[in-house]
Every structure is written in C-alpha cells, then in structure tokens.
C-alpha cells in the first residue's frame, strides 16, 4: 500500500497509477514517487487531457549543483535502482560524493591564497636587497636568443602534460644571464615554489574527482553509441583490415555529439567538477602575471640588450599558455564570472607583452621598427577583439567592475602601441624610477659622464663606454664598446 497516502491495494488502479516497490520493500505509487523526485524540475511534462495521465516528453536542464538524496518515507533508506528516476538518483549520488571532495579542495585553495599573500609581502619587503644584488655586476650583452632546445619555460615537455614547464624561479644558464643575477632571482622568487606546489596538488586532485570519473565513463559510452554504425574497411581483395573502420559518423562529428551528450547529462564539458580546478588555475595564472611584472622591472633596470630579454619573452609565453588554459577551463565549467575575469587577465597580459616588445627600441633600425609597428598593430587588434568578446559575455553583476579595470589596461596598451610606432617616448613608472635612483645612489663615487642619445634624451654613463645599452626615454641604442660611444652627440 502507498505509505504516503495510506491507500490500500484495493483502492488503487494500477493501470492508471502503477505501484513501485522500493529496494527496502516499501511500496509507493508512481504519482507519489514523481512528486517526491520532483520530476517536473527534470523533465517537461505532458498531460493527456482525456485520461489526466502525465507523460514526460523531454529533459530539462539540471536544476542546480545541490541535489538532495530522496529517501523512503518509512525507513529513511536512500531510494536507488529505479530506472524511471535514474537521472535524478545519479545526480544526487554524484552531488553527495562531491561534497567531501569540494570541502577539501576549498580548504587547500584557501591555504594556497594565504601562502601567496605572505610570500608576496616577503618579496616586496626584500625588493631593494634584490635590486642591489643585480647592481653588483653588469650583465653581458646578448643580442641573439638562446637555442630553442634550451628554452623550456612555457613549453609542454611531453604531449600528455596538462601544463607547461613552470619553474620560473630557476633561470637556465643558456640565457647568458650572469650567475650572480640568476642566484639573486632564485633567492627572491623561490618562496613562490611552495604556493605553486599546493596549486599543482589541487589540479591533480581535480583529475581524480567523482565528476571526472563519471565524465570518463560517460564519454566512452556516448562515443561508442555515436559510432555504433561503423563498418569495417576491406581491402581490394575483400579482406577485413584490422582496426580500420569507415564510420557513418566521422570522428570529429562523433566527438562533438559526445560533448553535447555530456553537457546534456549535467557534466562539465572537460569533466572537472566544481570550481577548484578553475580557481587553482586562476591562482597560478595570477602568480605568473605578478612574476612577469617583476621580471619586466628587472629587465628595465639591467638593460634590454641582455639575456634577461629572452627570459622575459619565455615568461610572457608561459603566462599566455596558462591564460588560454584558464579561459577554456572556465568556459567548459560554465564559470561565467571567472571566464570574464580571465579575459581581463588576458588583456592585462597583452599590455605586458607590448611593454616587453618596446624595451628593445633601436633608433635608425628601419626594418626592426617596421616589424615592431606591425606586431603592435596585431596586438592592438587582438586586444580589441577580446574587449568586444568581454563586453558581450561579461555577466551584468560584474560588468562595471570589469570594464573599469579594462579601461586602465587599455590606456597602458594604447601608450605602448604609440611607443612602438614612435609616437610617444617610453617612461618609467614612478615606483620603478625610485627603485633605479635608489640603487644608483650607491654608485655616486664612480666617475659618470652625461651624454645624449640620437633623439636628444640625456643619459649617464658610469666610467667609459664598455657595452651597448638603450636610452631610458626612447630605447635608442646608446653606450658602446672599447671605450668609444655609438650615439654620443
């Protein structure tokens, strides 16, 4: 009998309202079970006007991440193994399994963020000491880049690697950077390694989540389903060719159909459940971008005609790879706010790339200037496209905050593009200028000579000309070698 309505078997019309026997042995009518399972929230109902019977004709999107487990009203045992409610039951079971996993990931992510704040404060406190270490020795001029095989930063070491090589706290000697500089950078940035390790652990756990397990099983099932009509390929003599099939649905189309089925089931397109994977990836990207800013300041202080220039280039590329991975993960996980913030990060990275590009301006090099101008134009165009995408897709709740931040980024990028075109001289920020003056105060006792670059900007040369450098205003080539200047007027 129905335990909800206390109806006896004699009172029921099993043809109109079938009875269902639960795994615990208690009995409920289908109407009662449909109400308990909230079927109207999972499927689109159609009521027959003649009989009053309800038939579910299509699926609705899953109502949310939090789905309660429905239990027997008599013994409170979970209701499972009823095919009619399989979608609802499996969704609830997956949510329950995810709960403990999400709590552990959330705590690990909070720990990583706290550690990053502590490390960031430590690095900023030691900034002056770091710059003084750089001033103890001049970096050798290195115009040519290191060999491609020696440049690992930002590259995938193996095809199956989920992330590129990220050990930015160590600098390979192939860049030609002095050992003193490399040691100073490692000492300065090594505390960030512990934070990156925590975030790597969160990423690894995301690959073991219940959602990821369900995704792998579902993907295999749906792909086989969409290619079930494949026919084996035969050779010219009519013999079967092992392992080769001609599919009625090609592999690309089958993959697309499989992805649609995955999303329809309520699983993320890439299988990573919750936001821990996306958020940990966002934290790593933020750390890399923050590190890139410090590397750019270092490059401006040491000089662009050094191996630091190529190290910063690889760090830019590493940031770009992570930013693209972040945008893809946020879109797959339907994290719309994080997707918008990721696009803001990408715009910020573009402004850093333009800043790096302008650090090697060479007066009189027409070919280099033209190439740089073209690169600046392409960067500005890409930035414009990303800005349009952001305006269209940014959630209303955070649009104002995002666009205000983007406005400042666009101002910086516009200035950098003008510098690349020769329409504006390059200026240090107030903070960076103070740092350079503070370090140079230690050199007051050295002989210094004042000169002008080819564009008329004043610069100082300590002692006699020993290596080429760049004007701090316009980045024209200055200095020289063998005690003779290249551009003194």
Q: What tens digit of pLDDT does each residue of 49-68 get?
A: 887 777 888 888 776 656 77
Residue 107 is assigned to a structural domain of this protein: yes
Give percent of the chain above pLDDT 70: 66
* Same domain (yes/no): 360, 397: yes
The C-alpha atoms of residue 471 and residue 361 are separated, in whole angstroms, by 9
Q: Which domain holds residue 205?
A: 93-209+272-433
Residue 46: the pLDDT is 86
Residue 184: the pLDDT is 95
Is 355 exposed, middle or buried, given 0-12, 13-18 or 19+ CB atoms closer than 10 A?
buried
Q: How far is CA 252 from the centre of its chain?
A: 25
End-to-end CA distance of the chain: 104
Q: Rounded mean pLDDT of 133-161?
A: 86
Residue 194: the pLDDT is 94
* Same domain (yes/no): 424, 349: yes
* Same domain (yes/no): 288, 189: yes
> Mean pLDDT over all residues of the chain?
76
The C-alpha atoms of residue 359 and residue 420 are separated, in whole angstroms, by 10
Residue 487: the pLDDT is 45
Which of 81, 108, 136 finishes a domain? Answer: 81
Residue 331 is assigned to a structural domain of this protein: yes
Q: Any idea which of 11-25, 108-122, 249-263 has the lowest mean pLDDT?
A: 249-263
Q: Rounded mean pLDDT of 306-313?
A: 92
Residue 373: the pLDDT is 73
Residue 302: the pLDDT is 87
Rounded alpha-carbon distances, angstroms, from residue 178 to 118, 299, 396, 439, 472: 29, 13, 50, 18, 22
Residue 112: the pLDDT is 92
Q: Rounded mean pLDDT of 67-88?
A: 84
* Same domain (yes/no): 280, 260: no
CB count within 10 Å of CB 341 equals 22
Which of 57, 81, 105 finishes a domain? Answer: 81
Give the residue with greater pLDDT, 73 vs 451: 73
Residue 234 is assigned to a structural domain of this protein: yes
Give the residue with greater pLDDT, 466 vs 139: 139
Q: How far is CA 313 from the centre of its chain?
A: 18
Per-residue pLDDT tens for 350-406? 888 888 887 765 433 444 567 777 777 787 888 888 888 888 888 888 888 888 888
What angle do the packed helices 210-226 and 86-125 form, to 10 degrees? 130
* Same domain (yes/no): 476, 415: no
How many angstroms separate the most distant Cα atoms in the chain? Answer: 111
* Same domain (yes/no): 199, 282: yes
* Same domain (yes/no): 227, 335: no
Residue 119: the pLDDT is 94
What angle do the packed helices 430-440 and 276-302 form, to 10 degrees? 50
Residue 354 is assigned to a structural domain of this protein: yes
Contact 166/288 with Cβ under 8 angstroms?
Answer: yes
pLDDT category of residue 457 using cuts at 50, 70 and 90: low
Please write down the HEC assignment for all residues of the chain.
Answer: CECCCCECHHHCCCCCCCEEECCCCCEEEHHHHHHHCCHHHCEEEEECCCCCCEEEEEECCCCCCCCCCCECCCCCCECCCCHHHHHHHHHHHHHHHHHHHHHHHHHHHHHHHHHHHHHHHHHHHCHHHHHHHHHCCCCCCCCCCCCHHHCCCCCCCCCCCCCCCCCCCCCCHHHCCCHHHHHHHHHHHCCHHHHHHHHHHHHHHHCCCHHHHHHHHHHHHHHHHHCCCCEEEECCCCCEEEEEEECCCCHHHHHHHHHHHHHHCCCCCCCCCCCHHHHHHHHHHHHHHHHHHHHHHHHHHHCCCCCHHHHHHHHHHHHHHHHHHHHHHHHHCCCHHHHHHHHHHHHHHHHHHHHHHHHHCCCCCHHHHHHHHHHHHHHHHHHHHHHHHHHHHCCHHHHHHHHHHHHHHHHHHHHHHHHHHCCCCCCCCHHHHHHHHHHHHHHCCCCEEEEECCCCCEEEEECCCCCEEECCCCCCEEEEECCEECCCC
Residue 87 is assigned to a structural domain of this protein: no
Residue 460 is assigned to a structural domain of this protein: yes
User: How many residues are recorded in the chain?
Assistant: 489
Name the token pair of 58: 């299509």
* Same domain (yes/no): 231, 350: no
The C-alpha atoms of residue 127 and residue 130 are separated, in whole angstroms, by 5
Convert 65-93 to b/e letters by CB count within 10 Å (16 or more is b): eebeebebeeeeebbbebeebebbbebbb
Give the residue with greater pLDDT, 73 vs 419: 73
Q: Is residue 6 left, alpha or beta, with left meaning phi > 0 and alpha meaning psi from -120 to 50?
A: left
Contact 379/346 with Cβ under 8 angstroms?
Answer: no
| Tally of structural domains, the chain | 4
Residue 227: the pLDDT is 64
Contacts 24+ apart (CB under 8 A), 445-448: none
* Same domain (yes/no): 133, 197: yes
Residue 2 is assigned to a structural domain of this protein: no
Rounded alpha-carbon distances, angstroms, from residue 298 to 5, 214, 345, 435: 76, 47, 21, 10
Q: Any idea which of 87-96, 229-238, 290-299, 432-441 has the lowest mean pLDDT?
A: 432-441
Per-residue pLDDT tens for 291-304? 999 999 999 888 88
Residue 86 is assigned to a structural domain of this protein: no
Computed on alpha carbons and rounded to an integer, the radius of gyration of the chain in Å comes to 31
Name the token pair of 331: 């879109």
Residue 438: the pLDDT is 40
Check whether 486 has a pLDDT greater than 80: no
Give the residue with greater pLDDT, 25 vs 360: 25
Per-residue pLDDT tens for 170-211? 999 999 999 999 999 999 999 999 999 999 998 888 777 666
Which of 394, 410, 433 finishes a domain? Answer: 433
* Same domain (yes/no): 256, 403: no
Q: Rounded mean pLDDT of 16-39?
A: 85
* Same domain (yes/no): 294, 158: yes
The C-alpha atoms of residue 104 and residue 274 are separated, in whole angstroms, by 12
pLDDT category of residue 247 using cuts at 50, 70 and 90: very low
* Same domain (yes/no): 292, 338: yes
């Amino acid at each position: 009998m129905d335990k909800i309505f206390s109806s006896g078997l004699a009172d029921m019309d099993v043809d109109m309202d079938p009875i269902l026997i639960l795994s615990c042995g208690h009995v409920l009518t289908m109407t009662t079970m449909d109400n308990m399972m909230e079927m109207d929230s999972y499927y689109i109902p159609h009521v027959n006007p003649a009989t009053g019977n309800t038939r579910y004709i299509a699926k609705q999107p899953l109502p949310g991440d939090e789905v309660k487990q429905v239990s027997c009203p008599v013994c409170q045992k979970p209701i499972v193994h009823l095919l009619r409610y399989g979608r609802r039951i499996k969704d609830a079971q997956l949510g329950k399994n995810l709960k403990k996993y999400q709590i552990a990931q959330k705590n690990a992510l909070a720990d990583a963020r706290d550690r990053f704040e502590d490390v960031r404060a430590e690095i900023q406190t030691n900034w002056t000491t770091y710059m003084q270490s750089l001033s103890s020795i001049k970096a050798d001029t290195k115009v040519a880049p290191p060999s491609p095989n020696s440049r690992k930063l930002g590259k995938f070491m193996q095809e199956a690697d989920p992330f590129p090589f990220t050990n930015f706290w160590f600098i390979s000697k192939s860049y030609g950077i002095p050992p003193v500089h490399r040691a100073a950078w490692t000492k300065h940035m090594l505390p960030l390694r512990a934070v990156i390790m925590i975030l790597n652990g969160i990423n690894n756990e995301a690959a073991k989540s219940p959602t990821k397990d369900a995704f792998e099983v579902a993907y295999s099932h749906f792909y086989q389903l969409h290619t079930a009509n494949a026919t084996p390929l035969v050779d010219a003599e009519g013999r079967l060719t092992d392992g080769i099939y001609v599919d009625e649905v090609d592999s690309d189309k089958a993959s697309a159909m499989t992805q649609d089925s995955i999303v329809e089931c309520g699983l993320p397109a890439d299988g990573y459940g919750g936001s821990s994977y996306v958020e940990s990836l966002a934290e790593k990207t933020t750390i890399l971008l923050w590190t890139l800013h410090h590397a750019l300041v270092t490059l401006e202080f040491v000089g662009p005609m050094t191996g630091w220039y190529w190290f910063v280039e690889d760090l830019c590329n590493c940031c770009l790879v992570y930013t693209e991975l972040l945008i893809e993960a946020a879109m797959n996980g339907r994290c719309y706010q994080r997707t918008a913030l990721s696009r803001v990060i990408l715009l910020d990275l573009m402004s850093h790339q333009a800043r790096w590009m302008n650090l090697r301006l060479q007066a009189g090099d027409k070919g280099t200037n033209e190439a740089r101008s073209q690169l600046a134009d392409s960067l500005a165009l890409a930035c414009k496209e990303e800005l349009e995408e952001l305006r269209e897709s940014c959630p209303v709740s955070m649009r104002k905050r995002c666009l205000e931040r983007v406005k400042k980024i666009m101002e910086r990028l516009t200035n950098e593009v003008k510098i690349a075109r020769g329409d504006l001289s390059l200026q240090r920020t107030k903070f960076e200028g103070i740092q350079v003056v503070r370090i140079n105060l230690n050199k007051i006792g050295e002989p210094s000579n004042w000169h002008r670059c080819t564009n008329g900007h004043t610069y100082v040369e300590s002692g006699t000309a020993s290596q080429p450098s760049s004007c701090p205003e316009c980045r024209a080539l200055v200095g020289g070698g063998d005690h003779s200047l290249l551009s003194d007027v």
